[in-house]
Amino acid sequence: MKTKSRLIILLATLACIAAPLRLLAQFDQGHWYFKADLGANWTQDADLKEFFGVESPGGKVRFDPGIRAGFGGGYNFTDWFATEFEMGVMQSWIRSMTDATQVHDASFANVPFMVNVKFQWPNTKRFIPYIGGGIGGSAAIIDVDEIDLNGVSLHGSESTAVFAYQGFAGLKFQIDRQMTVGVEYHYFGTDDPSWEAHDFFGGVPPSDTMRFGHIQTHSFSAVFHYTF
């Protein structure tokens, strides 16, 4: 009799412990959420395809590590599938350009507008892994104090719109029924950005267009989710 009573008490205790955890895992289903992240990014070397009328076979644009910030919102259709809209900024300094005699205070940034799908592993634990991907567009922005190349000196800021895509993965920790914190990795890419410049010094170039090859950026950030 004592053994049976102890077994009943043990099962009841386990059920009491497991029930809140199941609620945490299932609470996301059918709810809206907000997300924000902040971290660092690294943009791979890009091809320098054209510098104002002069093609540069084998030319490269090299970047220093930069910062990433993002925010967005989404809806959990089930406890394992969600769709979301995401915006952000990824900014890096241009370290060098092939054959450039000077690169001074030059930065490059992407401001993406993405529609994502996300898949997460529903479980009864507080640690929840997830993966996802998205497509959309990005404003590719270049801001230059001075770049000197082939006798042309470039100054000013320009932006252009490009097609963008991404994949991401992360791990979040459930604080309570509404809040999670975690870490997230993004791979982000775009089509070739090109800009038409208006401020030149020195010689008159044969074209007003500068064009990079496709952009590939890797970022790691801390992320916060709030479920409504």
pLDDT tens for residues 91-111? 999 999 999 999 999 999 999
Percent of the chain with pLDDT over 90: 65
Gyration radius (Cα) of the chain, Å: 24
β-strands 102-120, 81-97: how paired?
antiparallel
Task: Note the pLDDT of residue 201.
Answer: 61
Which DSSP category does 178 fall into?
Answer: S
For the chain, strand residue ranges (E) read 32-43, 46-51, 54-55, 60-63, 66-76, 81-97, 102-120, 127-149, 152-174, 179-190, 194-196, 200-202, 209-212, 215-227
User: Residue 52: which domain range?
Assistant: 2-227
pLDDT (mean) for 173-200: 91
Poorest-pLDDT segment among 24-38, 83-97, 127-141, 165-179: 24-38
Is 45 a residue whose pLDDT tops 80?
A: yes
pLDDT (mean) for 27-45: 88
pLDDT (mean) for 36-49: 97
pTM of the predicted model over 0.85: no
pLDDT (mean) for 6-27: 42
Which DSSP category does 10 fall into?
Answer: H
Among 141, 145, 65, 66, CA closest to 104: 145
Task: Note the pLDDT of residue 214.
Answer: 96
Angle at the Cα of 35 from the Cα atoms of 30 and 40, rounded to 5 degrees: 150
Backbone angles phi, psi at 44, to 5 degrees: -65, 155
pLDDT classification of 126: cutoffs 50, 70, 90: confident
How many structural domains compose the chain? 1
CA dihedral 94, 98, 101, 102 (to 10 degrees): 0
CATH code where residue 55 lies:
2.40.160.20
Instruction: Give dist(CA 219, CA 217) in Å, integer.
Output: 7
Give the chain's mean pLDDT: 86
Task: Note the pLDDT of residue 207.
Answer: 76
Residue 157 tokens, joined:
């800021």
Is 129 a residue whose pLDDT tops 80?
A: yes
